[in-house]
Each structure stands twice: as C-alpha cells, then as structure tokens.
C-alpha cells in the first residue's frame, strides 16, 4: 500500500511538471499579452519621489488638479476622465531636452488625432515664466492641437506636488526654494484609473515607438 502511494506521488510530480511545460508552450504559442505594470512610488528612483511616498507599494494614483492651459481654460482631472493620456514636464525657454521632447510629443499627437480615448498633458515647471500667453505662443509654434494636447501652468506648489507626489517625474533643485524642480526627460503613460503604467525617455525615438505600442496594449486591456 505504501509502495502504491509512493509511486502515485512520483506520478503526480511528473504529471504536474508536464502540465506546467504544456501550459507554458501553449501560452507562448498563443502569445498571450501581459498587462502593462502599474507603477508605485516604491518602484521608482527615490530622487524622483517625495520622501513621504518612499514606502508606498500600492494604490498610487494621480491626484486631482486644477491648472490653466494655453487658451486660458481651466483644466482639471475631469478633462481626462475615462481617458488614457501621456504626461510630461517641460518649460518653454528650455534649450536642451525640451525641444526634442516637444517634437516627440507632437509625433504622438499626430498618431492619436483621430483617437477619442488618448490625450496629452504637458506641465510647465516654470509657471512664473510660462504664462498663458507664453504657452499659447509656444503651442502655435509647435503645432499643438488644442483638442488633444493641453500645455498647463498654474500655482507652482501644486505643479511641484503633482510632479513629485503624483507623476514621480522631477528632481528637487535644493537651492533653498522648496518648490524648485528639475524636470526629467520622462513621459508617463496614465490609464483611465489615474495610474502610472509606464515611463519613457521622451528624447529617445525608440522609446516613443514603444510608448505608442503600449498605448495600443492599454486600449486592448480595456476591451477584455
């Protein structure tokens, strides 16, 4: 009797192993698409994250906001309700990475012009310089489509807190001004639940290609 159960035990182990192998093969054959990750503050470089969030490992979402766009219109989270959107931080007088980032954001805009689900959102990190009038001039120069892409300015503290506590996208300057910040080249992909689903180098063409693929992947996720 003990011998029988011993033999059965080995059979069960072998059967389980074979089953795992078969499932793995079927999974690869069918090329089952894995969902995009949901990023939490604890997974991101600490220099980009407010110290109060270092240990946050779940439930992170973009906070509500109220900012002003290039047309003087108030933009809130309601404008992005049930939308997938790409966010970044920039300033109009930047002569280094911003022009490249903006050009790449314009490329994304061209790909989503007829897509009602996807939008863009760019926040200035120098609101004292980037007034509504300045943002409008920049928008016209860069070919911004007002229906798809908001360039926003507003209260510096609110922008700082959005950048550090929500989008996890800027570094602090450390020069005595608690709301001064250095933006990064990151583009953030935000889902309909206000969660971060990806970080991308906004200066890298290959990263932009991947971002566009991930947007389509995220859209498929909502169709399941």
Asked if residue 118 lies in contact with residue 154, where contact means CB atoms within 8 angstroms, the answer is: no
Q: State how far the Cα of 122 lies from the Cα of 4, in Å rounded to an integer.
A: 69
- List residues forming the annotated binding site for Cu cation: 94, 98, 183
- List residues forming the annotated binding site: 94, 98, 183
Edge-to-edge strands of the sheet including 149-152?
149-152, 118-124, 84-90, 186-190, 196-201
Asked if residue 185 lies in contact with residue 201, where contact means CB atoms within 8 angstroms, the answer is: yes
Asked if residue 127 lies in contact with residue 156, where contact means CB atoms within 8 angstroms, the answer is: yes
User: Which segments within the chain are labelled E, that is strand?
Assistant: 66-68, 74-76, 84-90, 118-124, 149-152, 170-172, 181-183, 186-190, 196-201
- Sorted by sequence, the CB contacts under 8 Å of residue 163 that are 6+ apart come out as 89, 123, 125, 169, 170, 181, 183
- Sorted by sequence, the CB contacts under 8 Å of residue 17 that are 6+ apart come out as none
């Amino acid at each position: 009797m003990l011998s029988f159960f011993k033999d059965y035990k080995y059979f069960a182990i072998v059967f389980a192993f074979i089953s795992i192998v078969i499932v793995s093969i079927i999974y690869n054959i069918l090329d089952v698409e894995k969902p995009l990750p949901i990023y939490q503050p604890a997974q991101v470089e600490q220099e980009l994250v407010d110290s109060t969030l270092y240990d946050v490992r779940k439930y992170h979402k973009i906070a509500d906001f109220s900012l002003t766009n290039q047309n003087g219109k108030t933009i809130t989270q309601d404008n992005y309700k049930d939308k997938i959107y790409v966010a970044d931080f920039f300033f109009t007088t930047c002569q280094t990475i911003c022009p490249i980032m903006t050009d790449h954001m314009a490329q994304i805009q061209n790909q989503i012009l007829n897509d009602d689900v996807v939008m863009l959102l760019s926040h200035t990190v120098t609101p004292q310089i980037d007034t509504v009038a300045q943002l409008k001039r920049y928008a016209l120069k860069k070919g911004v489509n007002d229906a798809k892409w908001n360039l926003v300015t507003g209260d510096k503290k609110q922008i700082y807190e959005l950048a550090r506590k929500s989008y996890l996208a800027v570094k602090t300057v450390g020069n005595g001004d608690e709301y001064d910040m250095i933006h990064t080249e990151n583009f953030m992909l935000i889902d309909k639940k206000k969660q971060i689903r990806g970080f991308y180098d906004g200066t890298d063409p290959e990263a932009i290609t991947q971002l566009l693929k991930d947007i389509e992947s995220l859209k498929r996720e909502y169709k399941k």
